[in-house]
Chains A and B, each alone.
Chain A
Amino acid sequence: MQELDAFIDKVKHLPPAPRVLPQLMQLLSSDDADATRVVQLIQYDPGLAANVLRASNTTAFAASRRVADLGEAIFRLGFNTVFQLVVAVSAARSLRPAQKAYGMGEGDLWQHSVTSGVAGRLLARMTGNDENIAFTAGLLHDLGKVIIAQVIEDNSFELIRTLEKEGCSLLEAEKRVLGFHHAELGSRLLERWNFPASVSVAVRFHHMPSAAEPHHRLASIVYLSNFIAYTLGHGYGHNAFAFRSQNTVFSILGLDPKMLEKLVVLTREEFETIETLFQIKA
């Protein structure tokens, strides 16, 4: 923990803490989540408010009259869509830039993250889990890479050299080079930002979901979402496939492994329907 905190504190440009998100998640889990309280939360962040309004006026949702009021926008888009938009807008600033240490150009990690988020909410719906939490965990699962990439940009090939020499996974290579891996680091940052334990634990164990009790179902969703995003060819870096297989995710989620290819097709369809919505202006 101290090691992770020390590393995080070393970073010059830490991603801005998405202050609204933990509060919004808390609101989501309470019984009195109504549009007025959501408006209160997001109206003072011009970036968030503008993006919610823009989304409510995209072709998918636009009626004859343009929406200029946040309350009406939330009514038109629905609470879940607004929540997921707020998550995406909050994360976009951190996830958009190139992550050179991982061989990802500008927008690559962003695209991978949004695709994982979309796969996550689809899987959550199919398996009776909370789709907003699954979307959030899917979207933020690689947050740790943003921090690592800032620090080791200068010797970015050390990870790949280790990985190729040892034939190990990216996670194992990070552990050998840095002493910890991106899942631990991202999880720690989410803890510091007061995200619910379900999200930070699922992020920490997204490469080893069976160890994530009691949040192993969410961690399994994130593992599978990550894999589906790679299968869709979205946002690769170097050696994107260098991770271990976790066959148990299917039994944890009660899914037939034969469904995997169908899930890839369904995620692609879902991604296409919301692509315009999530073209977020930073």
Chain B
Amino acid sequence: MAASPSIIPFDQRVIVGVADMAVSNNPNVVFTTYSLGSCLGISVHDPVARVGGLLHLMLPDSTIDPAKGIANPAMFVDTAVPALLRAAYQLKAERSRLKVCVAGGAQILDDNNFFNIGRRNHEALLRTLERNGLTIHASAVGGQVNRTMMLRVSDGSVTLRISGSKDEVPLCRS
């Protein structure tokens, strides 16, 4: 009699779009977000509750369009980060155990210009995290590059791929 087939665990790949977010406690889930330029990718992970979430936000401040902030909270730092945290807490994540990683925030060349949305995103994020009692565990922010960010829910490892280089680089190991 032939041996019964073994079940190979597989990754459930979930793409997080621009101005969007997702959380999960399914250990098979691997979140990926593409095209992080001046946008910020923010991952949270609780290793005990085994809950992970990934957010891809675009702009620093929803006061430029409060209705948009309500309709699409994942677009702005001040509405997106609280929404991501709320979703993670609903899945029993706890703030004291949350590991936060950040990538993106690219900038065009030259300082002191009107186009520094990447830097403004990053500054707004630091303020919002501080207000929520959180610090950043690992980050890869700035430069002129375009990044892809991946979070594995099973162990909280975060990897980055930078356009133009072949290898994936770990941002946060499990």
Interface of A toward B, CB cutoff 8 Å: 103, 157, 160, 169, 227, 230-234, 236-245, 247, 250, 257, 260-262, 264-265, 268
List of A residues within 8 angstroms of B117 by Cβ: 231, 260-261, 264
Report which of B38, B56, B146 forms a contact with A231, defined as CB distance below 8 A.
B38
Residue of A nearest to B106 (CB): A241
Task: Give the contact-size bracket for chain B.
Answer: 20 to 34
Mask, B26-68, CB within 8 Å of A = 1, is 0000000011111100000000000000001011110011001
Inter-chain CA distance A103–B162, complex, in Å, is 11
Say yes or no: A265-B59 contact (C-beta < 8 A), given A227-B115, A243-B108.
yes
B164 within 8 Å of A by Cβ? yes
Complex: chain B residue closest to A260, CB-CB: B114
Closest CB in chain B relative to A220 CB, distance in Å: 13
Q: Are B37's CB and A227's CB within 8 A? A: no
- Which A residues are CB-close (under 8 A) to B167? none
- Nearest residue (CB) in B for A259 is B64
CB closest chain-B residue, reference A262: B64
Residue contacts A-B, CB under 8 angstroms, 19 given: A157-B164, A227-B115, A231-B39, A233-B39, A236-B37, A238-B163, A239-B144, A239-B164, A240-B163, A241-B107, A241-B108, A241-B109, A241-B144, A243-B108, A243-B109, A245-B114, A261-B60, A264-B58, A265-B75
Q: Is the CB of B68 within 8 A of A265?
A: yes
**If the complex has contacts A247-B113, A257-B114, are A238 and B59 also in contact, measured as CB distance less than 8 A?**
no
Q: Which residue of A lies closest to B17 (CB)?
A: A233
Q: Which residues of A contact B144 (CB under 8 A)?
A: 239-242
Residue among B37, B68, B110, B115 with the highest chain A CB neighbour number at 10 A: B115
Within 8 Å of chain A (Cβ to Cβ): is B85? no
- A residues less than 8 Å from B118 (CB atoms): 241
B145 located at the interface, meaning its Cβ lies under 8 Å from any Cβ of chain A in the complex: yes
Q: Is the beta-carbon distance between B114 and A244 smaller than 8 angstroms?
A: no
Task: Report whether B109 and A239 are in contact in the complex, using a CB–CB cutoff of 8 Å.
Answer: no
Known pairs A103-B146, A264-B59 / 5 extra A-B pairs, C-beta < 8 Å: A231-B37, A240-B37, A240-B144, A245-B109, A257-B114
Instruction: Tell me, yes or no, whether B83 is within 8 Å of chain A by CB.
Output: no
A134 to B75, CA, bound (A): 27
B37 near A230: Cβ-Cβ < 8 Å? yes
Q: Is B22 an interface residue (CB 8 A)?
A: no
Residues of B within 8 A of A227 (CB): 108, 115
Partner-A contacts on B (CB < 8 A): 18-19, 34-39, 56, 58-61, 64-65, 68, 75, 106-110, 113-115, 117-118, 143-146, 163-164
Question: Which residues of B lie under 8 Å from residue A233 when comparing CB positions?
Answer: 18, 34-37, 39, 56, 58
A162 to chain B, nearest CB (A): 12
Contacts of B110 in A (CB 8 A): 244-245
Nearest-neighbor residue (CB-CB) of B111 within chain A: A245
A49 to B59, CA, bound (A): 39
Contacting residue for A247 out of B18, B19, B114, CB 8 A: B114
Q: Contact between A239 and B37 (Cβ–Cβ < 8 Å)?
A: no
- The answer to whether A244 touches B60, judged by C-beta atoms less than 8 angstroms apart, is no
The residue that A236 contacts in the complex, of B68, B109, B113, B163, with Cβ under 8 A, is B163
How far apart sit A257 and B116, CA to CA, in the bound complex (Å)?
A: 11
- Assess the B146–A240 pair: CB atoms within 8 A: yes
- In the bound complex, do residue B109 and residue A242 qualify as a contact, i.e. CB atoms below 8 Å apart? yes
Measured CB to CB, the nearest residue on chain A to B56 is A233
Q: Cβ of A236: which chain B residues have Cβ within 8 Å of it?
A: 35, 37, 146, 163
Bound-state CA distance A8–B115 (Å) is 33
Least CB separation from A244: chain B residue: B109
